[in-house]
């Protein structure tokens, strides 16, 4: 999953494009963090459930979920290293492998069983050391969410949060402007990757929205990686680095 971008629609910077003169917004984006900077924000050492609870609190305070949380346990088989057989049996007894795509490293977890997956990770984390001396390198827990960001003043989703509003253009590889998501990954280290798109409307200043997000996020947003995206007359977008709004 790609890392965070915060987008703000700038109504005063919209341009009329083709196809019936549909108006496209401009946007301010924040990448936190790009692949070159680690791909995600690191979280302070915490038990899996503590990390999950902090993310849940953020989602409850600042977002409207689009669909359920998704979760999976991924094994080191993905990178060519097999976990010890006894550990494989422990995990597979609770969460069977999904081999429908020809892979043998993915253990799907239903939303109703996320608590069980967290308990399992708590159980297998202590003392697990791979041949290279890395703790808990055999299994990762990934939890993801898609959502709309709420207005700090009204508590309702900010308008303009859709791919169609931005002509289906991406601001990061495979991540369309107008969409929001996060990915919590718990393994030897715990990381949080974010994709934000914050429409700027008269009723909500983008800086107020960013302040709200920061107040509830368990990580500190970087002061770097901000860009302004401006629509062109041909229907594409150009970007320019800017300081934080």
Residue partners of 221: CB distance under 8 A and separation at least 6: 4, 6, 30, 32, 210, 213, 214, 244
Q: Mean pLDDT across the chain, nearest whole number? A: 80
Between the CA of residue 25 and those of 9, 14, 59, 227, what are the distances in Å? 5, 4, 26, 14
pLDDT band (50, 70, 90) for residue 24: low
pLDDT score of 123 more than 60: yes
pLDDT score of 45 more than 70: no
Residues 80-84, mean pLDDT to the nearest whole number: 81
Query: Residue 200: its pLDDT value, please?
Result: 64
Query: Residue 107: its pLDDT value, please?
Result: 94
Query: Percentage of the chain surpassing pLDDT 70?
Result: 81
At 134-186, the pLDDT tens digits run: 565 688 899 999 999 999 999 999 888 888 877 777 877 788 888 899 999 98
At 110-122, the pLDDT tens digits run: 999 999 999 888 8
- Which of 9-18, 64-73, 95-104, 113-122 has the weakest average pLDDT? 9-18
Stated pTM of the model: 0.83
pLDDT score of 65 more than 90: yes
Query: Residue 20: its pLDDT value, please?
Result: 44
Task: Say how many C-beta atoms besides its own lie within 10 A of residue 94's C-beta.
Answer: 15
Query: Residue 9: its pLDDT value, please?
Result: 46
């Amino acid at each position: 999953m790609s890392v965070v971008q915060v987008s703000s629609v700038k109504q005063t910077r919209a341009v009329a494009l083709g196809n019936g003169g549909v108006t496209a917004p401009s946007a301010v984006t924040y990448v936190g963090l790009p692949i070159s900077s680690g791909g995600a924000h690191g979280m302070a050492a915490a038990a899996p459930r503590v990390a999950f609870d902090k993310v849940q609190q953020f989602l409850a305070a600042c977002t409207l979920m689009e669909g359920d949380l998704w979760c999976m346990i991924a094994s080191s088989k993905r990178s060519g290293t097999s976990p010890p057989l006894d550990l494989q049996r422990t995990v597979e007894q609770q969460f069977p492998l999904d081999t429908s795509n020809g892979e043998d490293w993915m253990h799907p977890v239903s939303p109703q069983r996320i608590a069980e997956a967290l308990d399992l990770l708590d159980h297998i984390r202590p003392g697990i050391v791979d041949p290279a001396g890395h703790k808990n390198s055999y299994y990762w827990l990934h939890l993801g969410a898609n959502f709309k960001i709420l207005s700090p003043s009204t508590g309702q989703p900010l308008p303009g949060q859709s791919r169609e509003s931005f002509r289906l253009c991406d601001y990061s590889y495979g991540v369309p402007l107008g969409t929001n998501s996060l990915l919590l990954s718990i393994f030897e280290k715990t990381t949080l990757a974010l994709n934000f798109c914050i429409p700027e409307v008269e009723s909500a200043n983008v800086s107020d929205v960013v302040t709200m997000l920061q107040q509830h996020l368990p990580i500190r947003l970087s002061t770097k990686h901000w860009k302004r995206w401006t629509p062109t007359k041909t229907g594409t977008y150009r970007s320019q680095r800017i300081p934080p709004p």
